[in-house]
Amino acid sequence: MAELSNLAYVVFEVSDLARWESFARDIIGFQVAVPLAGEGLALRMDEYAYRILLQPGVQDDILVAGWEIPAEKELEAFVTKARSAGGMVVEDPVLARIRGVERLFTCSDPNGFVHEIFFGPTMLPISKPFVSKVLSGPGFITGSLGLGHILPVSKDVVVSLPFYQNILGLRISDYIRAELAPGMKVDATFFHSATGRHHSLATGQFPATKILNHVMVQYADMNDVGLAYDRVSRANIPLVLELGHHPNDKMFSFYVQTPSGFAMEVGSGGIVIDDENWKVVTYSQLSDWGHKRVIPRNY
């Protein structure tokens, strides 16, 4: 089927690689490695060579969202479909070699970053298993569901929503329309890809200083969420939202400020969508308990 399978990787441009290395390895539990090509750091979560690439620079924001498609014919069909919908999708063989994938196409997002659509990722041999310095459970939930999700901020939802739905072909999971404070409303749309993680991408239009509001990673063991929360507290790393629970994806999580200023949601328990039995609904609150804000909005 000619659609995106999952959000396989992201690329961030970061100004302080040393702080990111410590945050990623010692607080969140990634394995830090040398990238397949170029400068920076590769963050491992599983048997993939990387799930997050950190490139040195001043932007401190998202540069790339990498989407996997499982077969070359499906990739070609996706590109044809996206182009027929008006997407400017271009193949880049040089970048494919840098990323360590078989074939790769790029498409610019209306909110200021790039989507890379590919097949054939580099998988590391069993002799190089994923190893975390701090996780107590079996690790991260990835595999066919991808690395987690991202929430880029829309400059204009009238442009963004059709791009994600019609060009990228993502499926709407649900909506949250809530009043966070008097006169302060949020209207967020959540999208999932073919393998069904509740959302691989969500977006909304609200004041922000960065393209990326947050990236989410999911632990297999709920206890690792609590242990990570304690590590954040001991290290005096700023929290964005305290522990809480989302009504739509059922994620138990907290949000911590990364060294680049955007947030990382660290959670467990998210649901997987079965499209045959799924109903799109609208929720009236972001969280059904907890997630008390610590850092003011516009962080």
Provide the whole-model pTM: 0.97
Q: Of 24, 14, 78, nearest to 50 (Cα)?
A: 24
At 185 the pLDDT is 80
Residue stretches of the chain with pLDDT short of 70: 1, 180-181, 183-184, 296-299
The domains found in the chain, sorted by start residue, are 6-119 (3.10.180.10), 143-290 (3.10.180.10)
The string of pLDDT tens digits covering residues 43-100 is 999 999 999 999 999 999 999 999 999 999 999 999 999 999 999 999 999 999 999 9
Neighbours of 118 (CB within 10 A): 23
